[in-house]
Structure 1
């Protein structure tokens, strides 16, 4: 039986918050192992990285999710009772509900709304002085996804909803006021959406047929019951919030176009090149740092013992930068995806494994489509300057973004 390395600290919670995305990877390098033990929030935790680790982690016979995610994450990011924390038949049923929303027609409609809104905002950006792209994207995506979901927002509500969704996204990995803002934002949103769900069900405010609002409000579980009102609100947020979070990836794509300007011409009129560029953005830049599971029953893997009930963290960022999978992972090289089939356990920015049966993000295709559309808009429908600013990414901060959200200036429409 191999000895699993043990982190020296009696509890690594503060070290995790300080190290951010590099926490697991740095320790894997230190111990010369892709698996080690530590304590997070005083609980014994096994940390993993790499393709084989991802394949193990998404084995539903060995792991479950029901109690794996810390409460601070559930109370801010994912919601309590949402699909991310389900297992077995209940997860299969709930995931099928989400996948029924992700049809090619629905994704195309969302993309069309996105392109239209981009053009609307471009008219406002012209001559408006410096624009913080990340902030603008948050508002743009909020307006678009609410419309697509069957919840069109009055202009007066867009800013408030965008701020609340961002607060939820940023809250899990911080302490103090930012964390509490995220919890309050989730509570507000769940109450508001719960009331809308109720009005949809009673017919006082019918939802557009086939919209995410209609699908979730009308969904019945394996026993024929409607989802409880609060759970339905949680799952509706699990459609809205992740789409708004794509603003991070679009900001990263704009940053990559700035740092690697030769790619601007390559992506303009070649969809396959754009796809490779977008996939490299997803691999290279930091999104969500880890995923959590809990050992369903004791087993041994590669000589290491995984006791029943032990929490396990998979390093998503570290797996996307594993040099055994990605030669020179510290370099931005979209050509690595040219003609390459994306392995479901190698590229895991939004989880690994199977979309239908596992816990891989149901909206991954939406992410890719919106990123490709954004890259096309950034390179073909507009021109702009990037004024001097600090564009460094702080990997100690989650989520990691340029401090000024990538500021653009002198924006003008192409002829």
Structure 2
């Protein structure tokens, strides 16, 4: 039986996604205390009750919780995830305004159009890593849908800069610093567009991401600074590109479960959404999310003192056998008839709680829409999948099949 280490830094990095749950199992509880970096006391928690406590009761703040190396790449200063109370609710409404069913249909249509064009060009050259191809497709689709002008010569640069924000998020040292430097360039590029919109030089589509955040007024009635507006626009673009990992995992699932590929290829798409939700639950995305206690409380016979660092196990909760029977098996059927409203604290791959009021990612709708479109496209395409290493290392954050999933005609 594994014991709870005094310091969890090396075990967490070595064991990866299953680390928190394995230690919870060892102590027979949904929480345990340890340290990170030898000096930071941390309480690790898992499960639906823990997710409700973390997201649903206003007991935690994100401020000061995320290491700067991660925050600067994923969210950066002034983003909605760093806000609380009325400031968070007002900013969150701007994000929610972009996620209507009509807007999601529009994003899906742009994605399909870009898929057809990029696929034809890339696969015409021979084999290609699906992950690389999908990243280009998503960059093009995200910018077009968001109203962000993207000159053709800038596509490789912006694709790489958005990708670095994800790839290097769990790195330390020069790789992370380089990714942060490149992000500064992306922010400057987008902030310049915000200034052009406000001066009348640019006229993005009404209701688009560039339009909404260029004109958004915060809780104090003031316009966002161009820099913060750029941060929030990137917080739309970057998560769309991050869907590339889910799409690759969906391709792996179709390859390893051909009955689903054949079903979707035949035109029967009734279970496309359950399939997508199972991909989100089953495969590793982000392992955990940190927060700090706002005011002292007691839970599960443990005192959570004000300011304490708490880390919620996302991967472990999505693989909790109390929530999902036989959690290590791939079973899309489990999500037939499932809804977010009925289950806000079980499938928490992108956060928990209610989208309107909590810190749950509003990008879940765009993620699901893009994945559904990709699953149908992949099922009908008739690709060849050469022999390759499709193992998914659980000690890599964020993870991906080792081969990147190579396909050819």
**Secondary structure at 2:97's aligned position in 1?**
helix
- For 2:181 and 2:21, locate their aligned partners in 1 and report how far apart those are by CA, in whole Å: 33
* SS of aligned partner of 2:56: coil
Alignment of 1:11-410 (within 5 A): 11-41=7-37, 42-268=39-265, 269-342=267-340, 343-380=343-380, 382-409=381-408
CA distance in 2, matches of 1:18, 1:361: 28
> Does the Cα contact within 8 Å between 2:69 and 2:172 map onto a contact in 1?
no
Cα distance in 1 between the residues matched to 2:253 and 2:3 = 37
Residue by residue over 1:254-285, the C-alpha shift from the partner in whole angstroms, topping out at 9 and shown as x without a partner, is 01001111111223323331111111000000
Are 1:167 and 1:178, in contact at CA under 8 Å, matched by a contact in 2?
no
Secondary structure of residue in 1 paired with 2:312: strand
Q: Is the partner of 1:101 in helix, strand or coil?
A: coil
Contact 1:69-1:85 within 8 A present in 2 as well: no
CA change 1:121–1:324 in 2 (3 A) is same
CA distance in 1 between counterparts of 2:296 and 2:357 reads: 22
CA-CA distance at 1:126 after TM superposition: 4.2
- Deviations for 1:16-59, whole angstroms, at most 9, x for unmatched residues? 22222122122112222210111124211111111111111113
CA distance in structure 2 between the aligned counterparts of 1:296 and 1:272, rounded to whole angstroms: 44
For residues 46 and 10 of structure 2, what CA distance do their matches in structure 1 show? 20
1:61: how far off? 2.9
Q: Distance in 2 between matches of 1:255 and 1:185?
A: 31
Over 3 Å counting, the alpha-carbon distance change for 1:127 and 1:214 in structure 2 is closer
Deviations 1:341-374 (A, max 9, x none): 4411000000000001001111111110110000
Aligned residues: 404
In the TM superposition, what is the alpha-carbon distance from 1:60 to its structure 2 partner?
Answer: 4.1
| Structure 1 alignment gaps of length 5 or more | none
Q: Given the two structures, how large is their TM-score scaled by the length of structure 1?
A: 0.94
Secondary structure, in 3 states, of the residue corresponding to 1:346? coil
CA contact (8 A) 1:150 1:212 kept: yes
For 2:29 and 2:276, the matched residues in 1 are separated by 30
TM-score by length of 2: 0.95
Q: 1:231 to 1:60 in 2, by over 3 A?
A: farther
Contact 1:17 1:396 (8 Å CA) reproduced: yes
Q: 1:238 Cα deviation (Å)?
A: 0.3
- 1:340 deviates by 3.1
CA RMSD of aligned residues (A): 1.5
CA contact (8 A) 1:292 1:312 kept: yes
User: Within 2, Cα distance between the matches of 1:164 and 1:8?
Assistant: 37
Cα-to-partner distance string for 1:310-346 (whole Å, 9 max, x where unaligned) = 1111111110001111111111111111223441100
Displacement of 1:125:
3.8
Contact 1:6 1:36 in 2 (8 A): no
Separation in 2 of the partners of 1:28 and 1:170?
Answer: 28
Equivalent pair of 1:21/1:317 in contact (CA under 8 Å)? yes
